[in-house]
Amino acid sequence: MLVHEVGFKRRNMEKLYDNRPIGVFDSGVGGLTVARSIRRSIPDEDIIYFGDTARVPYGNKSKDTIIRFAHEIVNFMIAKKVKMVVVACNTASSLSLQALKKTYDIPVIGVIVPGVKEAVKVSKNKRIGVIGTHSTVSSGAYVKELKKVSSRYRIFQGCCPLFVPLVENKMINDPVTFEMAGRYLKTFREKDIDTLILGCTHYPILKSVIGKVMKDVKLVDSSFAVAREVDSILRDKGLSAYGRKRSGKIKCFVSDNVEAFRNVASIFFKENLDIKKVIL
Residue-wise DSSP of 210-237: HHHHTTT-EEE-HHHHHHHHHHHHHHHT
Q: How many CB atoms lie within 10 A of CB 66?
A: 24
Least Cβ distance, residue 28 to a second copy (angstroms): 10
Task: Please report whether residue 180 would count as binding a second copy according to CB under 8 A.
Answer: yes
Name the catalytic one among 89, 159, 160, 252: 89
Q: Pick the closer one to a second copy by CB: 194 or 256.
A: 256
Q: How many residues line the site for a second copy (CB under 8 A)?
A: 25
Q: Is the CB of residue 25 less than 8 Å from the CB of residue 92?
A: yes
Stretch that binds a second copy, among 16-24, 87-95, 201-209, 255-263 (CB under 8 A): 255-263
Task: Please report whether residue 256 would count as binding a second copy according to CB under 8 A.
Answer: yes
Q: Pick the closer one to a second copy by CB: 28 or 114.
A: 28
Least Cβ distance, residue 171 to a second copy (angstroms): 8
Task: Give helix then strand counts, H and E, for the chain.
Answer: 11, 12
Distance CA 120, CA 74 (A): 30
Task: Check residue 111 and report its DSSP letter.
Answer: S
Task: Please report whether residue 138 would count as binding a second copy according to CB under 8 A.
Answer: no
- Count the residues in the chain: 280
Distance CA 137, CA 91 (A): 9
Q: Pick the closer one to a second copy by CB: 171 or 273.
A: 171
Which ranges in the chain belong to alpha helices (H)?
32-41, 63-79, 90-103, 112-122, 134-139, 141-149, 163-168, 175-190, 207-213, 222-236, 258-268
Task: Please report whether residue 161 would count as binding a second copy according to CB under 8 A.
Answer: yes
Distance CA 210, CA 207 (A): 5
Least Cβ distance, residue 179 to a second copy (angstroms): 6
Told to judge if 89 belongs to the known catalytic residues of this protein, a careful annotator would answer: yes
Q: Pick the closer one to a second copy by CB: 56 or 193.
A: 56
Taking the CA atoms of 211, 217, 222 and 228 in sequence, report the sign of the dihedral they define: positive
Task: Please report whether residue 123 would count as binding a second copy according to CB under 8 A.
Answer: no
Distance CA 217, CA 51 (A): 31
Q: Pick the closer one to a second copy by CB: 164 or 226.
A: 164
Least Cβ distance, residue 73 to a second copy (angstroms): 14
x/- track of binding to a second copy for residues 50-89 (CB under 8 A): ---xxx----xxx-xx--xx--------------------
Q: Pick the closer one to a second copy by CB: 184 or 269.
A: 184
Residue positions annotated with a catalytic role: 89, 200
The residues that touch a second copy, with contacts defined as CB under 8 A, are: 53-55, 60-62, 64-65, 68-69, 161-162, 165-166, 168-169, 175-176, 179-180, 255-257, 260, 279
